[in-house]
Structures are given as structure tokens and as C-alpha cells.
Amino acid sequence: MTIGTRQRLRLRLGILVGQVALLVSFPGLLCVASSSPIPGEGGEDESAAKAEVPFQLYNDNLIIVKATIGTVKNVNIILDTGTSPSAISKAMGDRLKLQGESEPLQTLNGAIQALSVILPRIQIGPLHTESIRVVVQDLSFMERSLGITLGGIAGLDILSTGSFTIDYRKRKVVFGAIAASAKAIRFETRKPFLTVKAKIDGHEVRLLVDSGTWGLLVYRNRLATVQEQLRFDPSASISTAGGMTNVRWLRAVVSLGRDSLGSRNVAIADVDSDPQNDFDGLLGFAKMGFHKVSFDFKNGLFGWE
């Protein structure tokens, strides 16, 4: 099986001083089995008590919670709705003595080899998943930048097993049924990634909903812009698996559904998106003025305050 038949960029602002790191993800792998309910198929219990999990926010965009991976407890793990499948660190894979297989991964700069393994168990608060296929990533770059050890990245394949809310003010993730919100928009797609429709200066775009992204990014070939509108920032660059490229900024009016978010800075990646991608860019939360965001998988809604 070939991993990653489609490509994705993720904007990482602030991991390094003066640099925008744009990492490549691993779409394409499938969850083998899960003990958690499947959203949208009657598995979510509206009457279940809500559970709160505290988190730490690193670099104003990375949500890190404690989790149990395999038999290892109290592990730092990133919650990232823009990743699928989930990943564990190379050190964690070695510690659990997991055996896997190397498979080709197509990235922006060519094919690399990625190791996939079956993770026996992962638990984050009330979320409990077993026998799930994940990829093994070298997270040492992020660990050095953040100053902590990381056990892995919990992606959409795990997080979509139940509705939840990210409360940035109270620094907690609340798992459970979502109350009706005045500001909400329906998911355009839910597999393999969550996307929503938005408008940038009146141009409709489809954005991947990504809790690991700092702000708003659009591929250069997915938004018609006048070159004079773009502001070049020499201190901002994009790091991919095979090299560096530039990022430019566009000041534009952004709206989600019927709600205007006002004038925002939009990062324009100086690379083209794969034509097969069904999204035009990425929507992050931390620097978009959102104090709280919700993922209502029962009703298929993304909400914000």
C-alpha cells in the first residue's frame, strides 16, 4: 500500500524564531480497529457526562495533553485535527518494541520511506482506541524546539471518535455533546480530513480545519491574487521534506458561512497544491481570534466563539 497518495501542508508558525515551518503529513493509512464509537453512526451518547482534559499551549498553536500510549503513561502528545493517521515518535516505537513495515510516502519534494505500525492502545481522557495503525515519525526537531519530549501526534482518526470542544481561555479540551452555537458551519468533508467552506475577499475556498496550524494559509494556485497585494516577508519561510521556499502575506476579509471574521492576514504558500487535493488551504484557530472551537461530529458542524 502506498502511503499519502495526496499531499498536505501544515503551517507551523513560531516553532523557530523567524521561521515558518511547513510540515508534511501522512494521509492515506486506515484505522485497523477501534473500541470507540464511530461518529455519525449512532455511537455518540448525548447523555454521557462530559470529561475535561487540561492542555498546555506551545507557541500559541500546539495543543499538548497527557496520554497513555501502549503501556506508557503520562506521555506528552499533540492533538491535531489536521493529521491523519496519528503518529508516534521513533523513541516511543522503540520503547514499545513495535515492528512495522516501511512504505513509500509521496511528499512535496519526492518520495521518502515511512514506517507504519499497529499501536496496541492509546488513551486520551475518555478516548480509548485499540489496534490502530499509525506512522512512526522523527519528532526530535519539534522536541528540541519545544523543549519537551513527545510521544506522538493524535490525529483525526482518533479525535473524530467523539465530539469535543477546545477552550483556549481555560486551556482545556471538553469531550462530550456540543451545545448549539450561533456561529457554526457544516463540514464539507469529514474523511480523510475535515474541511469547511470560507470566503477570502469574496473568493470561495475550501479549508482543511487544522488545530495544529497557527492561522490561515492558502496555496498560491488556489486563490486569484494580484501580485501587488502580496507582502513578502524575508523572515518567514517554509520548510518541507526537501528544502525551503517562501511565504507571502495577503491582507483580506475572511468569512465563514454568514459570519465575517473581518480583515485577516492570509499566508500564501509559494508552492502549488496537488490538483487531487480537495481543499485550497488550512484554517487554524489560535491566531484567528477564536476563544473556543467545537467539533460536533453528531451533527457535522464546526463551531467557534
pLDDT tens digit sequence for 105-116: 555 445 667 788
| Residue corresponding to grid cell 486563490 | 223
Contact by Cβ (8 Å): 7, 242: no
pLDDT average, residue stretch 176-199: 91
- Residue 134, classified by CB atoms within 10 Å of its CB into exposed (0-12), middle (13-18) or buried (19+), is buried
Tell which residue, 256, 250, 253, 242, has the closest CA to residue 217.
250
Position 201 pLDDT exceeds 50 = yes
Position 214 pLDDT exceeds 70 = yes
Position 23 pLDDT exceeds 50 = no
Tell which residue, 78, 81, 93, has the closest CA to residue 15.
78
In this prediction the pTM is 0.81
CA atoms of 205 and 252, how far apart (whole Å):
13
Q: Which residues contact 13 (CB under 8 A, 6 or more apart)?
A: 20, 59, 60, 61, 214, 215, 287
CA atoms of 78 and 126, how far apart (whole Å):
16
Residue 225: the pLDDT is 65
pLDDT tens digit sequence for 58-105: 988 899 999 999 999 999 999 999 888 899 999 999 999 998 888 765
Parallel, antiparallel, or unpaired: how do β-strands 152-154 and 87-89 relate?
antiparallel
Q: Which residue has the higher pLDDT, 22 or 110?
A: 110
pLDDT average, residue stretch 281-286: 88
Residue 223: the pLDDT is 77
Position 304 pLDDT exceeds 70 = yes
Residue spans of the domains in the chain: they are 26-40+50-175, 184-304
Least trusted range by pLDDT, from 15-19, 40-44, 148-152, 280-284: 15-19
Instruction: List, in sequence order, the alpha helices (H) in the chain.
Output: 90-95, 140-146, 156-159
Residue 236: the pLDDT is 59
The CA–CA distances, whole Å, from 122 to 13, 99, 155, 209 equal: 28, 17, 12, 23
Least trusted range by pLDDT, from 17-21, 139-143, 226-230: 17-21
Q: In CATH, what is the architecture of 26-40+50-175?
A: Beta Barrel (2.40)
Q: Same topology for domains 26-40+50-175 and 184-304, yes or no?
A: yes
Q: Which residue has the higher pLDDT, 127 or 223?
A: 127
Position 126 pLDDT exceeds 70 = yes
Selected from 3.40.50.720, 3.40.605.10, 1.10.10.970, 2.40.70.10, the CATH number assigned to the domain covering 184-304 reads: 2.40.70.10
Other beta carbons within 10 angstroms of residue 116's beta carbon come to 21
- Residue 66, classified by CB atoms within 10 Å of its CB into exposed (0-12), middle (13-18) or buried (19+), is middle
CA angle 122, 126, 132 (to 5 degrees): 25
Average pLDDT, the chain: 78
